[in-house]
Amino acid sequence: MSDEQQQAEATGLQYSNIPLKPTEPNQELTKAALEEIADLPKPILIHCAAGARASGIALIANAIQESLSYEQITQKAADLGISLESATPEAIFAGEIYRKVGRKKLVRKFEENL
């Protein structure tokens, strides 16, 4: 058990760690992260070393939850100061699928690509 996990659980929080790597897109891990986000009690804290992976995955999870259109995702990213030009491979992959097939098919597309 990591020190981070021990500290979180000592305060009564649930802990989950999905090791997304910025240089190695992994559809299975991205899907796992989205499922964890959906299943964990809210509010939740998502973090990574630089913030890009956490921001991207949080934006995707929020888009799914709120059924946002691709245009709304783009606007929300701009409002939050998230640059989609420097998005992680996972966020780019999910964003491209989202733009092409819409919210209802996003999670199914992840499952098909595993």
d(CA 2, CA 5) in angstroms, rounded, equals 5
User: Which pLDDT score, from 0 to 100, does residue 6 have?
Assistant: 92
Helix/strand/coil for 24: strand
**7-41: pLDDT as tens digits:** 989 999 899 999 888 777 788 888 888 889 988 88
**75-86: pLDDT as tens digits:** 888 888 877 665
Q: Determine contact, residues 80/59, Cβ cutoff 8 Å.
A: yes
42 Ramachandran zone, left/alpha/beta (phi>0; psi -120 to 50): beta
In the block, tokens 């964990």 appear at 40
User: Which pLDDT score, from 0 to 100, does residue 89 have?
Assistant: 57
**Amino acid (1-letter code) at residue 75:** Q
Which helix (H) or strand (E) covers residue 49, if one does?
A: none
**89-113: pLDDT as tens digits:** 555 556 655 555 555 555 454 445 4
Handedness of CA 76, 97, 24, 15 (dihedral sign): positive
